[in-house]
Amino acid sequence: MEPKSWNQLQQELAAEIIRMKEGDTVILLSGERFVQMRQGADTLKAEAVSNRWLPTHLQLTPEDEREMVALGWQPPEPDLGFHNWRSSTEWPLRTQDAEQLSERLIATLRDVLDVSDPNLLDRRTFNANEEV
């Protein structure tokens, strides 16, 4: 497998987002740091890990949390059952929406969660509606 740049990964992710079908789930992770998305019937939901799940040395700082808001994430609301940063987009997506979401996911991994190299990411994909 050939090494990827952040830009290549972002472009691949945008193309994958457009092709997702109901139940499709994509998780990009490096250790405890992750972003994920799942296609629903009429909404694509994305999440990024919050401090609830991160060890002390990887915790988001107040500055990181401001950056998450600037990137378009909604903050965790544990009292409502939302433990991670989240966003949702109505389906079907326009190409521009897919590009913006892929940019948000990549910027989160690279700039906020400090994943230094896209080649260090594990990628997990599955369809939550299909029986195992």
Q: What is the pLDDT of residue 130?
A: 87
| C-alpha to C-alpha distance for 22 and 100, rounded to whole angstroms | 20
Backbone angles phi, psi at 72, to 5 degrees: 105, 10
Which DSSP category does 60 fall into? P
Which DSSP category does 45 fall into? E
Paired tokens of 58:
């990887």
Instruction: Show the beta-strand stretches assigned E in 40-94.
Output: 43-48, 85-90
Backbone angles phi, psi at 80, to 5 degrees: -100, 5
Q: Which residues of the chain have pLDDT under 70?
A: 1-2, 131-132
Q: What is the pLDDT of residue 3?
A: 72
* C-beta atoms surrounding 16 within 10 Å: 16
Paired tokens of 80:
């409502």
**Following DSSP, what letter does each residue of 54-95 receive, concatenated?**
S-GGGPPPHHHHHHHHHHTPBPPBGGGTB-SEEEEEESSPPH
* C-beta atoms surrounding 108 within 10 Å: 25
